Amino acid sequence: MNPSILDRMKVVQGDITKMEVDAVVNAANTSLLGGGGVDGAIHRAAGPELLAECKTVGGCPTGEARITKGYNLPAKYVIHTVGPVYGGRPQDSTLLASCYQNSLQLAADHKVETIAFPAVSCGVYGYPIEDACRIAVDTTARFLEDHPSIEKVNFVQFSEENRQVYEDYLKQIS
Ligand code: ADP
């Protein structure tokens, strides 16, 4: 992998709501009306205005992404994407890759330079972290090659195990 692309991807362990980036990505559900996990944490930290804006968006199909303001978050924007519920089907990986691709495209369209992703679909939606990590990193790396305006993509992991999976994969492809 081109070292200049690798330098623009970083693994962080922590809470995505604290990230000082231009945009944080939310692992939302199709209603965009809030939920548990990272979605609940982002809505709590952003405040009720986020839900009010989400109500005007009209939902989001699986694999797509929508952008709102970040309100009380340090981030200027929240990019809401809906990952697949893992079922071991061939379309799961295509849909998960689309989440990263579409989120990054919205980011580029809004002149976002720094962005943070959670492990989309890897909580309640049950996607195995090793497979999801490869899809996240490979899709992001391809996007960064064509989009020099995006300076840094942070993959924010809540758990030490998931952080290690990302570190190992980035090392493997370097
Ligand atoms: P999904 O429904 O897409 O599976 P979840 O929110 O259940 O989404 O989980 C996605 C990932 O986000 C999981 O790995 C979970 O541990 C992680 N996560 C939950 N809260 C946070 C947070 N505040 N910051 C970063 N990651 C988080």
Reported as a single tens digit per residue, the pLDDT across 99-113 is 999 999 999 999 999
What does the CA dihedral 157, 132, 94, 127 come to, rounded to 10 degrees? -100
The mean pLDDT value of the chain amounts to 98
pLDDT for position 137: 98
* Residue 25, pLDDT above cutoff 90: yes
* Residue 1, pLDDT above cutoff 90: no
Q: Which residues contact 34 (CB under 8 A, 6 or more apart)?
A: 40, 43, 51, 54
* Residue 2, pLDDT above cutoff 90: no
Place of tokens 């623009």: 8
Q: Which of 38, 95, 129, 160 best tests ligand 1's pocket when mutated (most atoms within 8 Å of CB)?
A: 38
If you measure from the C-alpha of residue 120 to the centroid of ligand 1, how many angstroms do you get, rounded to a whole number?
A: 7
Report which ligand 1 atom has the smallest distance to the Cα of 156: 25
* Residue 71, pLDDT above cutoff 90: yes
Cβ(1)–Cβ(174) below 8 Å:
yes
Query: Would the CB of 26 count as within 6 Å of ligand 1?
Result: no
